[in-house]
Structure 1
Amino acid sequence: MRQTGQKTSSTHRGAIKSEEPKPVVPHGPEPAQLGRDVRTARAHQVGDAPPGLFIYVAYIKWHQPSTPQALSSITGAAHTSSGSAARAHEVFYGIMFDAGSTGTRVHVFQFAQPPGETPTLTHETFKALKPGLSAYADDVEKSAQGIQELLDIAKQDIPFDFWKATPLVLKATAGLRLLPGEKAQKLLQKVKEVFKASPFLVGDDCVSIMNGTDEGVSAWITVNFLTGSLRGPGRSSVGMLDLGGGSTQITFLPRAQGTFEASPPGHLTSLQMFNRTYRLYSHSYLGLGLMSARLAILGGMEGRPAKDGKELVSPCLPPGFRGQWEHAEIMYRISGQKAGHLHELCASRVSEVLRNKVHRAEEAGRVDFYAFSYYYDLAASVGLIDSEKGGSVTVEDFEIAAKYMCRTLGAQLHLSPFLCMDLTYVSLLLREFGFPGDKVLKLTRKIDNVETSWALGAIFHYIDTLNRQKGPTL
């Protein structure tokens, strides 16, 4: 059995998002009541209670290292988080920095590997600092202080004898992607200088900016490692859906030859783990993350203020609503249309935004999927799942919730005015991916009591690659 990982954290959130703040959600008992209302609406529509379902959320990314060095001194007594020794186990550590738009986080992972078996996660330490690296774009020197503070956390957590064998990696996400190239590179160079001065294992590729495919593949590694799907051949794997602020990803392991033959260029990628090669279907859709989709639905354009401060009017906002919304440091004036059937009008507008944007892999509808980030947040915000424990939803649950919120949102001023828009977008996006209405998705912040993070998949793949380059594999 895989040992249960333990985690210390400076925040209450289990799923780390690296793009935009999560949607405004109601406080107090409202989500539970909303959930009851939505379930009632669903029962009235389909004449039955929703079937049991299951989903999972987290924001994760992938790293494909080129470091020629390998771990050479990772054998010894594996120590659990309580400090007890586990004889005949190998123990090794990995440090992954997540440099997101809202903050920088460090994850310190401890793994133990029984002889002849795949590794287990035995401990994780997590610490987050604000603001994100991108906030220091005009004063690069100040970025070093926060990085050093997080490195000190790693030094406290990892025994001295393991420092030189522990890989240290930073992956930057949305915040640095949006910066001009020269500013981003200066920040990364400063981080690399701090890393090089540390006692840890640092390669030439220790600091970089991630792309969308990296995100999807690392997410897939994390969830399949935690569910045990990577332990041996013949085990059923699960797919991964992630909905961030600027992009959305889908990744799964195809079994049907037709999927390989019909996949567009750039939708297939190979991954080596544990002496096995996985040929994955993985694609990231830039601009289809929830925040970018909001802007597109409103009729705005990324990085451009509305012309002459023009108000953006949308059929997806409550009739009579008027307010402001900030996205990518630009403030937009927004308002709802005065009349009309909100859901029908909103669905029509969302369909325009999604038209010809998403490739539909028919096999995806037959694969078990976990979903991360905004899928979880939205389901929790309307009571479809417990906000802490997660729960189960179908694609149709999102559709029923969208129709309900579009019909009633105008009378619930304490709720986010974007709920009709966001739920309609998510339900139609899932349909575009090829999922039927009764498709079960799994949302949870933990698997086997281990909180999820893209960093786990990224560092795991990094270490595995280092070992393959050296000779023996994990």
Structure 2
Amino acid sequence: MAKQTLILTLWLLTGSLFTEATYYRHHRYIPHFFRYREPSTNTENLLPDVANPAPEVSQSGVPTYLEVFDPAPEVVHTIPEAFYPVPEVVHPAPETHHQTQMLQPGPEVPSPDRNRESRVFYGIMFDAGSTGTRIHIYKFIQKDPVELPVLDNEMFHAVKPGLSEYKDNPEEGGNTIRQLLKIAKKTVPEEEWGRTPVVLKATAGLRLLPVEKANALLKEVQEVFEESSFFVPENSVSIMNGANEGVLAWVTVNFLTGHLYSNTRRTVGILDLGGGSTQITFLPKSKKTIEVAPPKFSAKFNLFNKTYELYTHSYLGNGLVAARLATLGALGADGLDWKVFTSSCLPKKYREDVKFGGDSYKVSGIPGGYAGYKLCYYEVLRVVKGNFHQPYEVKGSSVFYAFSHYFDRAVQTGLVSSLGGVVEVRDFKKKAKEVCNKMTKYRAISPFLCMDMTYITCLLKEGFGFKDSTVLHLAKKVNNVETSWALGATFDFFRNFNIHQD
């Protein structure tokens, strides 16, 4: 199989929609791999040849929005023929200390028309999180019918607030999706709209809502999709299972970093800290890690003709914003109209109304009291202690990629640059102390910075049980691709991984 090449450039686009950035990425890499039967030739990064499951439909005919892990019968989605075979994303050349993996040859493909021109097609994935909604528009190129498509580029845009803020006004929530679809229509050529699937997966923000309110929002999104000119597959709108979120983020990061191709099966773990939930996922080196873990703390799936069993768990209600409210004693509290929730983690003179999940909370520092790292740590510790399972081998020398709010807060405090960087767990503690003891200096950035950095420190050490020396790669992007579950979810949509929990 001939060498694949993929060019990398990055455009920064600005949009008038809300306050987030839109960016466009185009990349070309020159990886070197070897076929399983022919060590002297190159091969592709093949995704598993597994059919997509049939979407669930309720008795009433309304799509079922909640995902399940149990493998469904192998029934192919009614995706236009243009999407077969499954797209391939060519990852960058592995780091020098990683060995190249021999891969099995890909599935058989009908004889090609050698004179056929390269074909382009697209996929659209919405990430509906607790603090914002993001759209990922992927462009794929089929250069040769006998070879799998490659990821050519990605357009990304994010808006705030998240869908959960519209729990009492689903129509307005639907309007945010319409605005993002306008970007999609500017990105995807009109002649491709009818063949481009559009999918939305919601995360912790909607998981925390009452079922009827969450489903009302998802039904509204479904209607917005139906009125668009894009291809709307069955079950295109759903709430993602938390463990799927961790697994698909792990697939994305390890695929892009080349770790899935190491002969030693060396991979990196992932830590994702959203607004409403947080995930930890890694490939254990010891069977004992899975054996002594609580039920539903592992997931199996097939990838590159291998079965992976990951340690993974999503902690609902322990995302950064939810943890703020829990620290304040406000999460699940009543009397929000008159109660004021105070904390020594906040500047003494701070007093504001804070919104989360469609509710408003009166929040304040302690004017005549004390503030600082030690007092803040004790407050946060009550939220973390005893609520997390510490994996058997997490105190070892594992390497983790940490993103979302881990990355955001590290950049805001100057722990790393906007390009990311490598730190140790102890560096978060050191920076948290600095921020908490100089709240006035950092208040302009965020009055919650002390609480957030202290929570991250406590979560890593007291929650997950990491050592001070554990290495964390803080990144928003890996090789200029967003470090989220969206790319992994797009792969899964085209060719199901058969993820299921044990």
The TM-score with structure 1 as length reference comes to: 0.74
Q: In structure 1, what is the equivalent of residue 82 of structure 2?
A: 73
Q: Secondary structure at the match of 2:152?
A: strand
Q: Please state how far the C-alpha of 1:239 moved relative to its aligned partner.
A: 0.8
Distance 1:410 1:155 in 2: 45
- Alignment equivalent of 2:375, drawn from 341, 345, 362: 345
Distance 2:68 2:156 in 1: 19
Tell me if 1:296 matches 2:305: no
| 1:251-262 matched pairs, under 5 angstroms | 251-262=281-292
Provide structure 2 residue ranges, at least 5 long, that are not aligned to the other structure: 24-66, 90-113
Distance 1:321 1:215 in 2: 38
Q: In structure 1, what is the equivalent of residue 315 of structure 2?
A: 285
Q: In structure 2, what is the equivalent of residue 46 of structure 1?
A: none
- Alignment equivalent of 1:212, drawn from 237, 242, 250: 242
Q: In structure 1, what is the equivalent of residue 293 of structure 2?
A: 263
Provide structure 1 residue ranges, at least 5 long, that are not aligned to the other structure: 15-61, 469-474
Q: Secondary structure at the match of 1:465?
A: coil
Distance 1:114 1:140 in 2: 42
Distance 2:387 2:206 in 1: 25
Q: Please state how far the C-alpha of 1:353 moved relative to its aligned partner.
A: 1.9
The one-letter code matched in structure 1 to 2:451 is: M
Q: Give the conservation status (yes or no) of the 8 Å contact 1:252–1:364.
A: no
Q: In structure 1, what is the equivalent of residue 402 of structure 2?
A: 371
- Alignment equivalent of 1:111, drawn from 140, 145, 167: 140
- Alignment equivalent of 2:6, drawn from 3, 7, 15: 3
Q: Give the conservation status (yes or no) of the 8 Å contact 2:130–2:276.
A: no
- Alignment equivalent of 1:450, drawn from 457, 475, 481: 481
- Residues 341, 197 of structure 1: alpha-carbon distance in 2 compared, 3 angstrom cutoff: closer
Q: Give the conservation status (yes or no) of the 8 Å contact 1:93–1:158.
A: yes
Q: In structure 2, what is the equivalent of residue 383 of structure 1?
A: 414
Q: Please state how far the C-alpha of 1:221 moved relative to its aligned partner.
A: 1.7
Q: Give the conservation status (yes or no) of the 8 Å contact 1:75–1:89.
A: no
Distance 2:405 2:296 in 1: 25
Q: 1:436-457, CA deviations, whole angstroms, 9 ceiling, x for partnerless residues?
A: 1121111122222334343212
Q: In structure 2, what is the equivalent of residue 221 of structure 1?
A: 251
Distance 1:86 1:296 in 2: 62
Q: Please state how far the C-alpha of 1:70 moved relative to its aligned partner.
A: 5.6
Q: 1:270-291, CA deviations, whole angstroms, 9 ceiling, x for partnerless residues?
A: 1223333221111111222122
- Residues 151, 340 of structure 1: alpha-carbon distance in 2 compared, 3 angstrom cutoff: closer
- Alignment equivalent of 2:494, drawn from 456, 463, 466: 463
Q: What count of residue pairs does the alignment treat as equivalent?
A: 413
Distance 2:283 2:394 in 1: 9
Tell me if 1:184 matches 2:214: yes
The one-letter code matched in structure 1 to 2:404 is: S
Q: In structure 1, what is the equivalent of residue 21 of structure 2?
A: 12
- Residues 288, 446 of structure 1: alpha-carbon distance in 2 compared, 3 angstrom cutoff: same
Q: 1:2-59, CA deviations, whole angstroms, 9 ceiling, x for partnerless residues?
A: 7355566544378xxxxxxxxxxxxxxxxxxxxxxxxxxxxxxxxxxxxxxxxxxxxx
Q: Give the conservation status (yes or no) of the 8 Å contact 1:74–1:162.
A: no
Q: Secondary structure at the match of 1:169?
A: strand
Q: In structure 2, what is the equivalent of residue 41 of structure 1?
A: none
Distance 2:399 2:223 in 1: 43
Moved more, 358-367 or 118-127: 118-127
The one-letter code matched in structure 2 to 1:465 is: N
- Residues 118, 257 of structure 1: alpha-carbon distance in 2 compared, 3 angstrom cutoff: farther
Distance 2:338 2:477 in 1: 43
Distance 1:333 1:152 in 2: 37
Q: Give the conservation status (yes or no) of the 8 Å contact 1:63–1:458.
A: no
Q: Secondary structure at the match of 2:365?
A: strand
Q: Please state how far the C-alpha of 1:177 moved relative to its aligned partner.
A: 3.4
Q: Secondary structure at the match of 1:324?
A: strand
Q: Give the conservation status (yes or no) of the 8 Å contact 1:98–1:104.
A: yes
Tell me if 1:316 matches 2:345: yes
Q: Please state how far the C-alpha of 1:99 moved relative to its aligned partner.
A: 2.7
Q: Secondary structure at the match of 1:73?
A: helix
Q: Give the conservation status (yes or no) of the 8 Å contact 1:63–1:461.
A: no
Distance 2:181 2:341 in 1: 45
Q: Give the conservation status (yes or no) of the 8 Å contact 1:218–1:454.
A: yes
Q: Give the conservation status (yes or no) of the 8 Å contact 2:288–2:392.
A: no
Q: Give the conservation status (yes or no) of the 8 Å contact 1:364–1:435.
A: yes
Tell me if 1:169 matches 2:169: no
- Percent sequence identity over matched residues? 46
Tell me if 1:392 matches 2:400: no
The one-letter code matched in structure 2 to 1:99 is: A
Question: What is the alpha-carbon root mean square deviation over aligned residues?
Answer: 3.7
Distance 2:214 2:261 in 1: 38
| 1:153-168 matched pairs, under 5 angstroms | 153-158=183-188, 163=193, 165-168=195-198
Moved more, 284-293 or 92-101: 92-101
Q: Please state how far the C-alpha of 1:363 moved relative to its aligned partner.
A: 2.1
Q: 1:114-137, CA deviations, whole angstroms, 9 ceiling, x for partnerless residues?
A: 788776421112344566444555
Tell me if 1:439 matches 2:442: no
